[in-house]
A and B are shown apart, each in its own frame.
Chain A
Amino acid sequence: MSCDSAKLQMLREKARAIRRWSCIMTAEAGSGHPGGSLSAADLLSALYFHVMRHDPANPGRPDRDRFILSKGHACPALYAALYEVGYLKGVDMKSLRRLGSPLQGHPDKRKLPVLEASTGSLGQGLSIGIGMALAAKMDGRSYRTYVMLGDGECDEGQIWEAAMWAGAKKLDNLTAIVDYNKIQLDDFVRNIVDLEPLEDKWRAFNWDVQGIDGHDMSKIVEAFERAAAVRGKPQVIIAHTVKGKGVSFMENQVKFHGIAPTKEELARALAELDRA
C-alpha cells in the first residue's frame, strides 16, 4: 500500500461524500444517528477506498477483507461508503429506515447480504470479528478483519472479554478501530464512564496500540498500513474524532447522537460540507 497526495485527496472527497449522504439519509428518514456517522466518515473512506482488499464486482470473494460496524447505529455512513464504492447499485439511498428498504435502521444482513454482520446491540462486533479472523487462520486465508467500535460501546464487558482473548491468542489479522468521539448517548463519555487511560487498557490486553487524529487522512492511512504489518498481536487504532465532524452545529453536540437534521439544517449542513 502506498498513498500519494492525489490518492489522499480522493479519500478526503469520498469522506465528504459519506458525510453528505449521512446527512441526507437521516434527514430524509426523519430519524437516525448523524453524529457517530460523521465522526466515522474519514476512517470508513480510508478502509473502503484504500486499505481493504475487496471487489464490489465479486462481493462474496472468500479472500475479501472483512469489515464489521459494531457501532451499528452509524450505518448511514457505512451504507454511504458501500454505495460510493459500488456495492449498492440500484438501491434508493433515500429509503433509509423505510419499510422494505435494504437500508434498515441498523445493519441487517437479511436485507443487505453484503454486510458482514447484523449489528445494533452494542458490544458484540469484536467477538464476531475474532471468529472471522480465527477462521482465516484455520483456513490459511490472507484476509484481514476490521471492526469499528464506539467509545461508549467500550462500556460493554463483552468488548473486554473479546480484547483479552484476541490479545492472549495473538490474533494479528484483526484490527479494531475505536471511534473515540468522546460522546455517547446520554452525555460525554467522561461523565458516564471515563475510559481513560484507554490506550493503556488495550496495551495491557496485549494489543498493538496507535492513537491518531481520526480526521487526518494521511495519519489514518499510515496507521492502517502500520497495523497490517504488525505480527503476533491484534492491533487497535484509537481514532480521536469529533462527533458530528464537518457540520459545525452538530460538532460535539450530544443531541445529534440520535436526532436527524431538519430539512433546513440539512441545507446548512450540505453547504458547509461542500465549502470545506
Chain B
Amino acid sequence: MPKIEFPMGKATRDAYGKALLRLGKEMPNLVVLDADLSKSTRTSKFQEAFPDRFFNIGIAEANMAGIAAGLASSGKVPFISSFACFLMNKAFDQLRMCVAYPNINVKVAVTHAGISIGEDGPSQQGIEDVALALALPGFVVLVPADEVAAEDLVAAAAKHIGPVFVRLGRAEAPKVYKEGDRFPIGGSKTLREGTDVAIIANGLLVAEAVKAAGMLEDEGISAGVIDAYSIRPLDEASISAAARKAGAVVVAEEHLLDGGLGSRVAMALARSFPVPMEFVGLDNTYAESGSPAELLEKYRLTAPWIAEAARRSISGKKTARSGGRRQGGGRR
C-alpha cells in the first residue's frame, strides 16, 4: 500500500464557521449563541452575516444552554458554542435538565477540544467533554477529523432532530478527506484495511493513526484504520467486522481514556467480538502548557505511540491464545 501523506488543512473550528454561514442561508430558523468567545469559536462569521440571529450571552455558559433550550422549544434551531471545557463542564446540568432529559433540539458545538490548543494550558483544554456528552442520554456525539468531515457533520447536526454534540479543534488539522465526502450520523470511514490490527480513532488522531499504520507496514504488520467520527450512535458493525478480521484493536483519541471513544468501542466489542485491545489517550492526568506538537508527543498521542500500542495489542493475541495473562501496557 502506498504511504499516504495528508496535506495540512484548516482547523475544524474554521469549517464550523463556514458551515454555519451556509446553513444560515438554508435554514431561516437557525440561531447561534456564544459565550464571549465568538472570534475563537468562529461563530463571529455567522454574527457578521446574520446579526439578528446571533446572541452573545456573555461569559455565562449555563445561562446560554438554558436560553438555547427555550429557543428550541419555540421552533428555533440553536447552535451554542464555547470552548469544550467551559460549555460541557459549566453547563452540564442545564444540558441535562433543559436539553437531554426533555429531548430538546439543541446543537452543542464546542471548540478548543483536546490538548492541541497548546499554551493556554489545562484550564482551557477540554479532555473530558466527550465523556460528559456521552453521559447525556439521547445526545448524538460527533468528532470530525478534518475540515471536510466537520463541515458535513455540522450540517448533519443541523438537520438531525434532537440534541447533538460536535467536537471541534483549534489547531489546523491534516486534510484526510476530499471535498464531497459524506459523513452520515452513525457511520464511520474505513481508511485502510488491515489483517493484523485495527486502529479505531477520531478527531486529530485519525491522521496519526494512518501514519502509524504506515510505520507498522514497514515492519510487515498490516494495520487497518477506521475513523469513528460518530461515537454515538457508533458504527458497531464496521468496528466489529474489523476486529474479527484483525483479531486485535487499538483505540486512539485526544481525550481522557475514561469515558471516551475507547470505552465505547471496548463495550461494543465486549458484546460482539472480544479481542485484545490497547488504548491511546490521556491516562488519568491533566496536561500542561506547551506547544501543541510538544504536548501531543509528551502525552503520547502521536503516531509512534499508536504503533507501539498496536504492537502490544498484537502480542496480546498470542498470550490470549495460550491462555496466559497479558502484561498491562498502560501507565496507571
**A contact residues vs B (CB 8 Å cutoff):** 29, 31-32, 72, 97-101, 104-106, 108, 111, 118-123, 152-153, 155-157, 184-187, 192-193
Which one of B1-9, B57-65, B176-184 is at the interface?
A: B57-65
Interface-facing stretch out of B120-128, B196-204, B319-327: B120-128
- Per the bound structure, the CA–CA distance linking A83 and B289 in Å amounts to 20
- Contact present for A120 and B62 (CB under 8 Å): no
Cβ of B23 within 8 Å of any chain A Cβ, yes or no, is no
Q: Which residues of B contact A (CB under 8 A)?
A: 34, 36-40, 44, 56-60, 62-63, 85-86, 89-90, 119-124, 288-291, 294-295, 298
Minimum distance in angstroms from A151 CB to a CB of chain B: 10
Given A121-B86, A157-B63, also A105-B119 (CB < 8 A): yes
- Cβ 8 A contact of B44, one of A32, A72, A106, A186: A186
Question: Which A residues are CB-close (under 8 A) to B56?
Answer: 186-187, 192
B59 touches A153 (CB 8 A): yes
Minimum C-beta distance from A226 to chain B (A):
29
Which of A104, A111, A119 has the most chain B CB within a 10 Å cutoff?
A104
Residues of chain A within 8 A (CB-CB) of B57 are: 155, 193
B-side contacts of A118, CB under 8 Å: 123
A192 to B291, CA, bound (A): 31
CB of B34, distance to nearest CB on chain A (Å): 8
Q: Determine the residue in chain B with the shortest Cβ distance to A99.
A: B290
**Chain B residues with CB under 8 A of A157:** 60, 62-63
Give the residues in chain A near B90, CB-CB below 8 Å: 121, 123
> Residue on A with the closest CB to B62?
A157
Report yes or no: A186 in contact with B39, Cβ–Cβ below 8 A: yes
Q: Contact: A97 with B36, CB < 8 Å? A: no
| Closest residue on chain A to residue B83 by CB atoms | A121
Q: Is the CB of A99 within 8 A of B58?
A: no
* Alpha-carbon distance A25/B119, docked complex (angstroms): 13
Chain B residues, Cβ within 8 Å of A32? 119
